Amino acid sequence: MLLRGAAPELDPILPPRAPLPEVPESSSSEVATPLPRQMTIEQVRSEFLAYKDKKVGGHRHRGGVEQTTQTNMKTRLRQVLASLDLVGLSTADSITKLDGPTLERLIDLFYRRVSTNEISEWTAFHYCGALIQMLKWAHRQSTIQYRLSDDAEDVLHLPQPKRTGSIKAHNPEIIKKIINRLREKGDERTVLAILLALCTGAYQKGIA
């Protein structure tokens, strides 16, 4: 029984709270991962050179290259890709056809031109090296459908040719004359620098 003017008693047990309506996540916050593109060898070459063009003039520790280096890269790629017919391919074919075994066959056939004196070993090294640089770059791009297998590691390593005929042995008589002339002028500092250079493998041409 309620007295006049008295507040009604409240039920101490609260009713269960209704669940909040689910708010759908905004689709604008989701970032879709682009699917890898199927590209031709020529398309990959074009994008790779465009990427390298942006590196011209940059710091070498950040992948920067000089303009002459980039010009040589374009020439070497053009020449080596012109030899794709050796393995039955063309630049219009998919980049995925340049797998490890095919790449190894192409490099082997290219180096055979060294033994027939068509090209020098350094030319083969630089041309095949340019192609390998392009393929390694494509391998790292998640937007390009191209992956080099682990067993292609040996193929990707080209031993650098040895430089021959351009370095002459030291001539002791010439070195002695240089040192004597410097001592006549009282330039002991340069004499010590030359002796130090000889101990560290400097060339005679550099000392002269």
Cα gap 144→36, rounded to integer Å: 5
CA 79 to CA 130: how far, in whole Å?
10
Over residues 90-108, the pLDDT tens digits come to: 999 999 999 888 999 999 9
Proportion of the chain above pLDDT 90, given as a percent: 32
Q: What is the pLDDT of residues 100-146, one digit of tens each?
A: 889 999 999 888 988 888 888 888 999 999 999 999 999 999 999 99
Give how far Cα 112 sits from Cα of 83, 120, 153, 155, Å: 12, 10, 21, 16
Q: How far is CA 146 from CA 54, 57, 107, 138, 139, in A?
A: 22, 29, 19, 6, 6
Instruction: Please classify residue 48 by burial: count the beta carbons closer than 10 Å to its beta carbon, then call 0-12 exposed, 13-18 middle and 19+ buried.
Output: buried
**Using CA of residue 80, residue 83, residue 89, residue 91, what is the dihedral sign?**
positive
Q: Which amino acid is at 74?
A: K
Report yes or no: 40 and 146 within 8 Å, Cβ to Cβ: no
Inter-CA distances, 114 with 48, 102, 160, Å: 27, 19, 14
Q: How far apart are CA 104 and CA 132, in angstroms?
A: 11
